[in-house]
Structure 1
Amino acid sequence: MNKTLTSVLLGAGLAVSSVQAFADISANVSLTSDYRFRGISQSAEDFAIQGGIDWFNDAGFFAGAWASNVDFYPTGDADDDGASVELDLYAGYAGAINDDVAYDVTVYRYMYPGDDINQDYNEIALGVDYGPVRVAYWYADDYLNLGESTQYLELNYSMELPQEFGLNFHVGHSFGDAFDDTSLLGLEDYTDYSISLTKTWAELDFELAYLDTDLDGSFEVESDHGANQDTFVLTVSKSF
């Protein structure tokens, strides 16, 4: 999922009081050492090239698209779905209750062009920002087109450090009907968390993150496809 979307939401949300509405477009491209989504590798712990484009106006509306390469299964695996690209489309509204509290509602469409099965699905997200704290709730009624729902609740905290470094804390919990039958996803409900250090230098954004989950036992994947154990991820991105 597009990590730069949160900044777009905040920008749109804080601008809703402007009398004159206008639209703006931004774009981003990034290279990451491992594409992790809610603590689980989507690229078999290999590098991923990602990019997106966002449209937003100061009335609070926004829309965008984001894409990344993915690798879910080893070549020749019986469950291989043939997916090599993830494409996310999204649209929503962001607003501000006052100078301290902002909110956003976003609808996502996750697609995997060229895959061998239909696993595209929709998800809705509700977020609230209070200063450096962000809380968000996500709901997909038909996750991966499997007929079962998933939910995700996350808490984030960001702080500024000396020399214009940033420090971000994240914890999230995945749960819902799709996790009740562990044979469906090969997972039980779980918690993921991360700590990341950020810095902008030479017009590039750098992020070094430590990520882990509480998955263990038969659900633990140490490396390669679907890795869900502790790791460091380095991401370099550029916004336009």
Structure 2
Amino acid sequence: MTALESDAADQCERDHHQAHPALVGAFTFWFATQRWEWSAEVYRMHGYTPGQVEPTTDLLLAHKHPADRDIVADLIARTLAEGEPFSSRHRFLDTTGQVHTVMVIADRVLDDHGEPVGTTGYYLDLTETVDAATNAAVTEVVSELVQSRAVIEQAKSVLMCMYGIAAEQAFKVLVWRSQETNVKLRDIAAAVLASLTMVPAPPAGTITAFDHLLLTCHERTDQQ
């Protein structure tokens, strides 16, 4: 394992011990070896206990919904060919046959020379309604939601347009980024809106650029 892979593995282990929402899991995909790494949450989404199976591209595709399988296969091929992040919204079936709708938000892993060597990010399971952990976060930010409704509603609209998701799902994504980065919800929303000039005009790279914006917007807030 390279030093870069070791650092990513350490980060994955740290992620395992952090308090993520129950329906969010982390992954990494290394281009050279085509090796996948799943957090415990992604294993459980698919119906496995952590470490029960080795995640491979064939296993991923076997779980995909038949109507989405070719789309995801083409995405993985493009990810390998162009060094792009593995980002999408699709459906998969867990080991019990239950259909999950997930949004995958990812960014590139770069080596010391700035070359893409992998992609890493998160699976967000949008199948269920807001889970207990996310609901607690929603309760915590109700007061600021009232005061900052306009900017949050605008950011929700952007996510809905970019990813083709419902308003509740878009809000869930903003709450997740707020929890993940320990940045206030209204500041995350404001940073998303302020950073939109970084996203190229469609169709060239818009979703890839927006994924990167969403995963790094907390770095452009005034909070420490």
Instruction: Give me the TM-score of the superposition, normalised by structure 2.
Output: 0.31
Q: Which structure has the larger Rg?
A: 1
Higher strand share: 1
Higher helix share: 2
